[in-house]
């Protein structure tokens, strides 16, 4: 995924074509998953819908499920990039929440929620998504290490990142359980739940009555 910084150098045409092809394949896989359900279509169908060859598909992805999880990978990579550009002296959890908010403004959450809902019903897709989260965890730990320096212990870093990701997944499960398939949520309800969950983690789970519907307004960032 290209950098979101304003100072980033323009990508060459070849690299941009690769990004566009990868996105087209991922979009085709997502559209098929929505229309016929995950596990109900083939790599050949994805390739045909994306306008690429089967060989080209396998240049980018190992399987149909792999093509679906690229959205999760991309979102988490973008969030980590945003986090890395925030002020180093900002309180850590304020930066975590701010990175999430900024990333959702650029990416949105509706498709991520739908993919999570699909994965809950499809073991192969669920397995692929879990691997995606595991890959992201390792990258986020390294991002936190750069922010906190060598004094931060491995146990602290892995516990912190694991807690953040677990809260995010808990919010997505809650959203999937309480939002009907036909609701066509644009992402606001999912965003509110994730913000509520991260706020509870930041505040030490002191308030068991946090209302996700007011979470966006209830996340004061220190120094804002």
216 or 41, which is more confident? 41
Distance of CA 147 to the CA centre of its chain: 20
Q: What average pLDDT does the chain have?
A: 83
| 198 vs 152: CA distance, rounded Å | 21
Q: What pLDDT digit, counting tens, does each position of 203-213 carry?
A: 899 888 877 76
Q: Give pLDDT, residue 160.
A: 93
Q: Is the pLDDT of residue 147 over 50?
A: yes
141 Cβ neighbours under 8 A, 6+ residues apart:
157, 158, 161
Q: Give pLDDT, residue 32.
A: 93
Q: Percent of the chain having pLDDT more than 90?
A: 28
Q: What is this structure's pTM?
A: 0.76
Q: What pLDDT digit, counting tens, does each position of 162-189 carry?
A: 999 899 889 988 888 888 765 566 678 8
| 16 vs 10: CA distance, rounded Å | 9
Give alpha helix (H) positions in the chain: 13-36, 43-50, 54-60, 64-84, 92-107, 110-119, 123-148, 154-178, 188-202
| 188 vs 208: CA distance, rounded Å | 21
Q: Give pLDDT, residue 53.
A: 96
| 82 vs 74: CA distance, rounded Å | 12
> Tokens 């912190």 appear where?
160
Asked if residues 123 and 38 have their Cβ atoms less than 8 Å apart, the reply is no
Average pLDDT over residues 106-111: 81
Confidence of residue 150 (pLDDT cuts 50, 70, 90): confident
Q: What pLDDT digit, counting tens, does each position of 28-76 carry?
A: 999 998 888 888 899 999 999 999 999 999 999 999 988 988 877 788 8
């Amino acid at each position: 995924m290209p950098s979101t910084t304003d100072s980033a150098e323009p990508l060459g045409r070849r690299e941009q074509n690769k990004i566009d092809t990868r996105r087209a394949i991922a979009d085709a896989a997502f559209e098929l998953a929505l229309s016929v359900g995950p596990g109900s279509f083939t790599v050949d169908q994805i390739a045909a819908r994306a306008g690429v060859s089967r060989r080209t598909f396998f240049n980018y992805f190992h399987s149909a499920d792999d093509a679906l999880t690229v959205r999760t990978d991309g979102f988490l990579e973008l969030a980590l990039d945003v986090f890395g550009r925030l002020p180093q002296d900002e309180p850590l959890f304020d930066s975590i929440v701010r990175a999430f908010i900024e990333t959702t403004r650029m990416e949105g959450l509706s498709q991520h929620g739908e993919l999570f809902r699909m994965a809950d019903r499809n073991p192969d897709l669920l397995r692929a998504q879990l691997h995606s989260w595991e890959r992201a965890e390792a990258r986020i730990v390294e991002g936190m290490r750069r922010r906190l320096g060598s004094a931060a212990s491995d146990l602290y870093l892995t516990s912190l990142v694991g807690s953040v990701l677990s809260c995010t997944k808990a919010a997505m499960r809650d959203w999937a359980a309480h939002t009907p398939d036909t609701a066509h949520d644009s992402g606001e309800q999912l965003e509110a739940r994730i913000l509520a969950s991260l706020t509870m983690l930041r505040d030490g789970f002191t308030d068991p009555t946090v209302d996700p519907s007011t979470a966006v307004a209830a996340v004061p960032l220190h120094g804002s």
